[in-house]
Amino acid sequence: MDIIILGIESSCDDTSAAVIKNGVLLSNVVASQAVHEAYGGVVPELASRAHQQNIVPVVNEALKRANVTKEELSAVAFTRGPGLMGSLLVGVSFAKGFSRALNIPMIDVNHLNGHVLAHFIKEKDEDTDQPKFPFLCLLVSGGNSQIILVKAYNNMEVLGQTIDDAAGEAIDKCSKVMGLGYPGGPIIDKLARQGNPKAFTFNKPHIPGYNYSFSGLKTSFLYSLRNFLKEDSDFIQHHKNDLAASLEATIVEILMYKLRKVAKDYKINEVAVAGGVSANNGLRNAFREHAQKYGWKIYIPKFSYTTDNAAMIAITGYFKYLDKDFCPMELPAYSRVTI
């Protein structure tokens, strides 16, 4: 019998629904919320309201594109957390209603697990290159920076993580003080391609072990800008490419340094990257260089699976379905959790 999973993602500011049949992706619809741009960051209450408006049309569209009816679904998988509570509640409540009305099981998915398992999304029924267990996954997004040891679909261990800001958060905050708009990641990425990564030097953390820290870099970026602006009020305008390139290079260097350390200590050369910041071209290039230099077998996701999407929730739901790992109706959402 076919296993058809509807996945729902609503943890932050993207409402998304996807359909996966026997492990193969049939549709992935994402409605992004432009309403936050004017505020320079996600406004939780506005995000919840937009999710409420989007969820029904997004699910209908995902089913339509997949050419699947509601009655054919085997289960509904949804992001339980971590994320913004109001946003999560929209997806969780929708999934509960859907599951009750159709009398099908519900599967709760950890958003971070979803980002990692995005590497197993198959678009056609053919063999795509997928990581072999155990592998390392660098998960870098607006809310997280973690090095994860992935032992199996359902067995992951966080070896290191940020003790303060996430990598994407640091990029977004620095870009905000440069007046570049929100979200800063894609803008910094674009400017960095035309800048000199060695033009400016910013602080790098010296914390032991496999953990990350980005708040020192952020502060040193802000202080440098303030000092430069005292001498030249148009400084940012004159140097935005170099500032972006130097900021990006520093963040990439910080990320890769700890990842190299883990890969060496654990003797693992299967290395994946996931999350919104994995769209960054500087980071992607660093992965390719490491593949050449250290013999890593690298896995870089398609751009559409880097930022939040329901395809990754549906594929995680598919693996949990095979394990009959369903959840009860009374399960609450959670805003904070690790893997």
Which residues bind to ligand KG4, rule: CB under 6 A?
12, 141-143, 168, 171-172, 183-186, 189, 275-277, 279-280, 307-308
Pick between residue 131 and residue 168 the one whose CB is nearest to ligand KG4: 168
Pick between residue 276 and residue 317 the one whose CB is nearest to ligand KG4: 276
| Least gap, CB of 193 to ligand KG4 (angstroms) | 10
Pick between residue 74 and residue 278 the one whose CB is nearest to ligand KG4: 278
* Nearest alpha carbon to residue 171 among 245, 61, 262: 245
CA distances to 176, 219, 244, 245, 249 from 198, rounded to whole Å, are: 22, 19, 11, 8, 8
Residue nearest to ligand KG4 (CB): 276
| Least gap, CB of 90 to ligand KG4 (angstroms) | 15
| Least gap, CB of 79 to ligand KG4 (angstroms) | 11
| Least gap, CB of 142 to ligand KG4 (angstroms) | 3
CA distances to 75, 206, 337 from 54, rounded to whole Å, are: 21, 44, 26
| Least gap, CB of 139 to ligand KG4 (angstroms) | 9
CA distances to 161, 300, 303, 332 from 139, rounded to whole Å, are: 9, 11, 14, 25
Pick between residue 106 and residue 249 the one whose CB is nearest to ligand KG4: 249
Q: Find where tokens 């077998």 sit.
A: 297
Pick between residue 91 and residue 142 the one whose CB is nearest to ligand KG4: 142
What are the DSSP calls for 146-180, one per residue? Answer: EEEEEEETTEEEEEEEBSS--HHHHHHHHHHHTT-
- Residue 310's Cβ-count burial label (10 Å; 0-12, 13-18, 19+) is buried
Partnered with residue 54 across adjacent β-strands are none
Pick between residue 247 and residue 271 the one whose CB is nearest to ligand KG4: 247
Q: Can you tell me whether residue 333 is helix, strand or coil? A: coil
| Least gap, CB of 99 to ligand KG4 (angstroms) | 25
